Structure 1
Amino acid sequence: MHRFGLAAIALVALVAAVFVGGGSASTSASPKKGGQVVFGAEQEPPCLNGFLSGCNNTWTSWTVGTQYRGLYIQKPDFSFVPDLAQSAKIVKAKPMTIAVKIKKQAVWSDGVPVTYQDFKYVWQQEINPKNDVASRSGYDSIKAITPTSKDGKSFKVIFSKPFAPWKALFVNSLYPAHALNGQPDFNNVWLNDLNNPKNGKPIGDGPFIMTNYTKGQSMTFTANPKWWGPHKPYLSKVVFVFRTNTDTEIQAIRGGEVDAIYPQPQLQLVDLKGQPGLKIESNAGTTLEHLDFNEQLKGGMPLLRAPWFRQALAYAVNRQAVITQIYKKFNPKQQVLQNLTYGNSQKGLYVPHFQKYVFSPAKVASIMTKHGCTKGSDGIWSCNGTKATIKYGTTTGNKLRELVQEIVQAQAKSAGIQFVTDNDPSRLFFPRVSDGNYQIAMFAWVGTGDPFGQTDIYGIGGGSNWKGYNSVKVTNLFKASDAELNPTKRTALVNAADANMAANVPTLPVVQKPTFLVYKTKIHGIRDNSTVQGPTDNMQDWWVG
C-alpha cells in the first residue's frame, strides 16, 4: 500500500527528540515468546486497500499495511534498506534499469513464494486508469518488468525515464498476484477484509495476519507461521482497539486498558511524562499539518477558486497563535511551518516561502476591498453576493485539532472571515475529503523521506489532488524533480514549485508535528519510527516481559 513521501533528502536532522520520559523498562536476558499487545489506534481505517485513494490513511498503513511488505523498508534513521529484496541496484543508466533479487525465503502465508509477479501486479493496478488509486508516481515511469530467473525471484524494472526516488517507491507493499489475479475491479478489492478471494482465507507476507476485524471496535493480528524474517514473531497476537476520541485514548493508556498508543500531539500527553510504568518517545517527524483549500465546484464555495481569496484566508489564519498557544507546550522551539514539502528542521532544504502570511486583518481588508468585497452588519465580508463563510472540517474527537480550529475561527472572525465547523470521525472524514466534498480540511500528510508524492498531491490529475489545484507549472516542476538524479538540482526544482504554491495558496502549511509513542515499560522491542512507516513496522520484534 502507499506510503507517501513528503519529507527530505538530508534526513538525519528530522529525528531530533522532543522528549523521552516515563519509568524505566525492565530488562531480560532474552525475548519471551507468547502473549499479546493491545494497541490503542487513534483512527479506524476507512477501508483496507491502502493503494486506493479513499483508503490511503496512516492508520491503514500502520495496521493492515504491516501484513504486506515492500521490497524496501524505511528505518527510524530515515534510511531505506532492503526488506523483501535481497538486493536492488541500478545496472543501466539509459534506460534506467534496476536489477532486483527477492529473498529466497520470502513466501506468502499460504506458502507460495513472493516473486516478480507480485510487484508486477501492483504496477499493473497502479497504471490502470480505471482504478481510483492514491498515487501513480513512479509506477507511471516504469515501462517494463521482466523476470531474469526461472523461479521469478530475480527481475529487472525498466523505467521509461529516470526516477530518482526509486527506493521510496520500493517501500510500497506487494500484493499476492496468485490470489488477486482475475478480480474484475481493483476498486473493490480488500475493502473490508484481507482474505484470498479464491478460498476466503487471510493472506499476507508480513509477520502477522489479520484474523478478525470488528468494525468500530478492533482488529486482531495473529502471528504468521510462514513468516520468513530472521526470527519468528515473539508475540502471539497484536490487537488494535479503536480509541478515536483523545480523552478515551489517553485514559486507556493511563488506566491500563491498552499497552501502547501513538496519538497525534495532545496537551494531555505532557501530563503522562513521568508516570510510573510508562515510557514516551517523541521525535520531529515528517507529519506536515495543513489547511487544504478546495477549488472544485463540488466543494460549494466558488470563491476558493480565486488565488486572491485564498491569499486573504492565509492572512486571516493566525498560525503563530496556534504555535504559541499549543505546540510550544510540547517544544519551546516549535515554529510555524512555511513550506509544503520540507519541514522546519531540514536545514539546507527548507525555504520559508509562506512566511509572508502573517495574521493581518488589515491585509485581509486590503485584498477584499480591492476585489469589490464589502463587510456586512455582522462584520463578515461578502464578495459579489457570496459571503466569506466557509466550512472548515477536521477529525472529530481529536481534541488538539478541535482546539486549533477554535483558535483559527476566533482570529479569522476578527478579520471578517467566518469558518463554520464541519467535522466528522476519521472513517467518514477522509473518504469525504478524497471525494472532494469539503471546503477547507485540516489534516496531515505523513512522509517517507522523499518529496516524490507531491506530484500526486498537487499535480494536475494527481490521485490525491482532492482540492482540484490546476497549475501546469507546479505539475511540471514536481515531475521534473522526480526525474532529476542530482540532489541539489532536485531540491531546487521542488522549492521552485513550493514558491509558486506560496503565491497561489492551494494549501496553507501550519506545523511540522512531533510524534508521540506511549507504551508500558513491560513492552520490549517497540520503538518510534517517525516516518510514514510508523512504530508498527517491527511488530515481530515486540515482546512482553
Structure 2
Amino acid sequence: GKSGTVYFKKGRSYAAWDSLLGNSSLMPAHKVAGQNFNNLWQDSIDIASGPFKFQSWQKGTQLTIVKNAAFKAGPAAKLDRIVFRYIAGASEFQALRSGEADVMEPQAQIQIVDFYNDSKFKVQAGQGYQWEHLDFQQGEKAHPALKKKFVRQAIIQGINRAQIREVLYVKTGLVRDPKLLPVLQSHIFKPFEKDYVPAFAKWKFSQRNVIALLKKNGCTGGPDTPSASNSKIFSCPGVGSLEIAFTTTSGNPLRALTFEIIQRQLKSVGILFTPRFISPAVLFGGGVLTGSDWQAVLFTFLGSPSSSATFFSIGGCGGDQNYGNACNQKVSKLLQKAQFTPDAADRAELLHAAEKIMAEDVFSIPLFARPTWVLNSNKVKGPVRNPTNQSTTWNTEVWRVS
C-alpha cells in the first residue's frame, strides 16, 4: 500500500495528535468529498474498515452490525452479528436478567449491586475517564447570582461532596473499594493520572463560611447559623434571591438523590436549588445543554487519556463544549497554548497554572471521576472494560458465545 510522512512543526504541533489517529478513521475520498459529513451516514453506513459492518438500523429501537468478510487487517470476528438495543433506565437491568440483553455498560445505578454476587453474570468495575460535575451558566440565560464569583464560591463550600460519595456510592455497596471514588479536585486530570493536582481541595466544606461570605457581600434575609430546618433564603445586591434552577437528567435515581442531598445542604445555609429534571434525549439531543438553556446543570463528560490536552474545548473561551459560556482570558490562553505543547511535562505545567485560576473562579464544581462498569451474561466471553470513551465494544472481534 501507499505510505506517507507526517511532519510536526514547532509551536503548531497538536498535543493530542495520537487521539486523532486512535479515535478517527481514514475516510475514502470518493465517499466524503463534497458531502455534508454531519448528515452523510444518518440512515445507513456503506463503508467499513473493521471486523464488522453496518447492516440495519431501526431508529429508536436497535442497530445491527454483521461480520465483515472483506476485513483482512486482523483476526476475523468470532460472532456473526451484534445487535445494539436501546433500552432506557432500569429496564436495561431487567433485560439483562431476562436474557433479552447479554452485555451492558450502565451508568452508576444502585441496581448494579444486585449483580455482584449473582453467579450468572460477570461484573467488571474500575476507574474511568468520565467525571461528574456541576456547571454554572454564564451566558444570556444565566441566573444573575451565578455571575458573581462570591456566590459560586459560597456554593462549593456549601456542598459536602464527601458525604454525597459516602451516602450514594459507599454505603449502598455500589463502589466496593472507596479508593475507586475519591472526591474529584480537578477537572483536567483524574486522581489516577500522574499529573493530577487537587486544585479544588482549597474549598473545604464549611456552612459557617458560606453564611459569612454571603453576608460579607451584602446578602440579607438568610439564616444566621446553619440549620436543617432553615427556610430563609438569601437575597444579594443586584442579583436578587439565591433561588437557582438545577437541571439534570430524569429517570436516573442516583442523580435524583444527588440533587436531594445538594438541595438539603445548601438550603440549610440559605441557598435554594429547585429541581428541573428532563429526559436525556431532550437535555443532550434537544438543544438544552448545547443551547445553554439552564442555570446550573449536573452531567458527566466522557473522556480519554488525551482529554487533558484538549481541555480548551471545555474550559476555553468559545470552546465548542463550553456550554456554560465561562470565560477567563488568562485561562483560555493557557489552555490554548497547552493544546499545541507536545511535551507532556511542559503541557502539564500550563494546565496546572490554568486550573489554579479555574479553582478560584468556580465556574464548575468537579464531583467524582465515576467508575465504569461492564455487566455481561456468563455465556458471553470476551468483553473487557475499557475506561475510555472507546467503551466496551473496543474488542468485539474476540467476543464469542458459549
Same fold (TM over 0.5): yes
Match of 1:477? 334
Change in CA separation of 1:427 and 1:189 when aligned onto 2, cut-off 3 Å: farther
How many angstroms apart in 1 are the aligned matches of 2:184 and 2:190?
A: 7
Match of 1:180? 32
Match of 1:498? 355
Match of 2:292? 436
Tell me if structure 1 keeps the 8 A contact 2:138–2:326.
Answer: yes
How many angstroms apart in 2 are the aligned matches of 1:464 and 1:345?
A: 24
How many angstroms apart in 1 are the aligned matches of 2:249 and 2:51?
A: 31
CA drift of 1:337 comes to: 0.5
**Aligned sequence identity (%):** 32
Match of 1:213? 57
- Counterpart secondary structure, 1:501: helix
How many angstroms apart in 1 are the aligned matches of 2:364 and 2:371?
A: 20
Tell me if structure 2 keeps the 8 A contact 1:216–1:242.
Answer: yes
**Paired letter, 1:379:** K
Tell me if structure 1 keeps the 8 A contact 2:310–2:339.
Answer: no
CA-based RMSD? 2.1
Change in CA separation of 1:485 and 1:173 when aligned onto 2, cut-off 3 Å: closer
**Paired letter, 2:336:** K
Change in CA separation of 1:248 and 1:307 when aligned onto 2, cut-off 3 Å: same
Equivalent residue for 1:242, pick from 82, 86, 89: 86
**Paired letter, 2:34:** G
Q: Deviations over 1:132-160 (max 9, x none)?
A: xxxxxxxxxxxxxxxxxxx5x43435546
How many angstroms apart in 2 are the aligned matches of 1:290 and 1:223?
A: 39
Tell me if structure 2 keeps the 8 A contact 1:423–1:429.
Answer: no
| TM-score computed with the length of structure 1 as normaliser | 0.67
Task: Show structure 1 runs of 5+ residues with no match.
Answer: 1-103, 105-150, 196-201
Match of 1:301? 143
Equivalent residue for 2:370, pick from 482, 498, 513: 513
| TM-score computed with the length of structure 2 as normaliser | 0.89
Tell me if structure 2 keeps the 8 A contact 1:194–1:203.
Answer: no
CA drift of 1:278 comes to: 0.6
How many angstroms apart in 2 are the aligned matches of 1:187 and 1:257?
A: 32
Match of 1:135? none
Q: Deviations over 1:466-522 (max 9, x none)?
A: 111111111121222233343322222111111110000111000111111010111
CA drift of 1:339 comes to: 0.8
- Please give the residue correspondences for 1:435-474 in structure 2 after superposition, counting only pairs within 5 Å: 435-450=291-306, 451-474=308-331
Tell me if structure 1 keeps the 8 A contact 2:144–2:239.
Answer: no
CA drift of 1:284 comes to: 0.9
- Please give the residue correspondences for 1:367-386 in structure 2 after superposition, counting only pairs within 5 Å: 367-375=213-221, 378-383=231-236, 384=238, 386=240
Match of 2:227? none
Tell me if structure 2 keeps the 8 A contact 1:244–1:398.
Answer: no
Match of 2:73? 229
Equivalent residue for 2:130, pick from 273, 280, 287: 287
- Please give the residue correspondences for 1:306-345 in structure 2 after superposition, counting only pairs within 5 Å: 306-328=148-170, 329=173, 330=175, 331-333=177-179, 334-345=181-192
- Counterpart secondary structure, 1:309: helix
- Counterpart secondary structure, 2:249: coil
CA drift of 1:536 comes to: 0.5
Tell me if structure 2 keeps the 8 A contact 1:318–1:412.
Answer: no
- Counterpart secondary structure, 1:303: helix
Change in CA separation of 1:186 and 1:485 when aligned onto 2, cut-off 3 Å: closer
Change in CA separation of 1:154 and 1:162 when aligned onto 2, cut-off 3 Å: closer
Tell me if structure 1 keeps the 8 A contact 2:12–2:340.
Answer: yes
Equivalent residue for 1:416, pick from 233, 249, 270: 270
Change in CA separation of 1:388 and 1:214 when aligned onto 2, cut-off 3 Å: farther
Tell me if structure 2 keeps the 8 A contact 1:176–1:204.
Answer: no
**Paired letter, 1:177:** A
CA drift of 1:178 comes to: 1.7
How many angstroms apart in 2 are the aligned matches of 1:484 and 1:180?
A: 31
How many angstroms apart in 2 are the aligned matches of 1:353 and 1:305?
A: 21
How many angstroms apart in 2 are the aligned matches of 1:386 and 1:407?
A: 24
Tell me if structure 1 keeps the 8 A contact 2:54–2:66.
Answer: yes
How many angstroms apart in 1 are the aligned matches of 2:55 and 2:240?
A: 52
CA drift of 1:169 comes to: 2.6
Q: Deviations over 1:38-64 (max 9, x none)?
A: xxxxxxxxxxxxxxxxxxxxxxxxxxx
Equivalent residue for 1:398, pick from 252, 270, 273: 252
Say which structure is richer in strand: 1
CA drift of 1:459 comes to: 0.8
Aligned residues: 384
Q: Deviations over 1:156-215 (max 9, x none)?
A: 3554613333212322323443212222x444444x3244xxxxxx33323323332223
How many angstroms apart in 1 are the aligned matches of 2:295 and 2:315?
A: 16
CA drift of 1:219 comes to: 1.7
Tell me if structure 1 keeps the 8 A contact 2:44–2:56.
Answer: no
CA drift of 1:525 comes to: 1.8
How many angstroms apart in 1 are the aligned matches of 2:209 and 2:394?
A: 46
Match of 2:99? 256
Q: Stretches of 4+ moved more than 6 A in 1?
A: none
How many angstroms apart in 2 are the aligned matches of 1:367 and 1:514?
A: 34
**Paired letter, 1:461:** G
Change in CA separation of 1:402 and 1:442 when aligned onto 2, cut-off 3 Å: same
**Paired letter, 2:232:** G
Tell me if structure 1 keeps the 8 A contact 2:44–2:57.
Answer: no
Task: Show structure 2 runs of 5+ residues with no match.
Answer: 223-229
Q: Deviations over 1:421-474 (max 9, x none)?
A: 222222221132112112212112222212112011111121111111111111
Tell me if structure 1 keeps the 8 A contact 2:335–2:350.
Answer: yes
CA drift of 1:317 comes to: 1.9
- Counterpart secondary structure, 1:433: coil
How many angstroms apart in 1 are the aligned matches of 2:7 and 2:30?
A: 20
Match of 2:195? 349
**Paired letter, 2:235:** S
How many angstroms apart in 1 are the aligned matches of 2:239 and 2:339?
A: 43
**Paired letter, 1:167:** D
How many angstroms apart in 2 are the aligned matches of 1:162 and 1:326?
A: 43
How many angstroms apart in 2 are the aligned matches of 1:187 and 1:370?
A: 51
How many angstroms apart in 1 are the aligned matches of 2:33 and 2:8?
A: 22
How many angstroms apart in 2 are the aligned matches of 1:233 and 1:516?
A: 24
